Amino acid sequence: MRQWTGLAFERGAASEASPAVATRRIEAIARDADPAPVIEAAIAETRERAAAGGSHSTALAIDTRALELVHFTLWASRAPADETTYEVLHLSSPELERIEVATW
């Protein structure tokens, strides 16, 4: 079983638009690496992805069992070609605005 712990969430530049595409990218953390700088860099990347044109929202989580970071992003239009891509047919978001964006 996989369990992801949330690390970051950011609303994107296109957060008012309906997302059409979702992406997922998994990044392994080396077992002998200090995870703190890797996580800090991934959080900074989350902010950059949110600022990217066409980004609806983005989230970062960690699977502590597998030592993997996973980046999920919703896009209002096209997504980066180098990531696993999914078509979004419907987004149920009754309380999306209540998700707090923490300052790291």
Q: What is the CATH number of the domain that holds 34?
A: 3.30.70.100
For residue 39, how far is the Cα from the chain centroid? 13
What's the whole-model pTM score? 0.86
Concatenate the DSSP letters of all residues of 35-84 into one string. HHHHHHHHHHHHHHHHHSTTEEEEEEEEETTTTEEEEEEEESS---TTSE
Which domain range does residue 62 map to?
4-91
- What type of residue is 79? A
Number of domains in the chain: 1
pLDDT tens track, the chain, 104 positions? 678 899 999 999 998 899 999 999 999 999 999 999 999 999 999 999 999 889 999 999 999 889 999 999 999 988 877 888 999 998 887 777 777 766 55
In a domain, 99, yes or no: no
In a domain, 101, yes or no: no
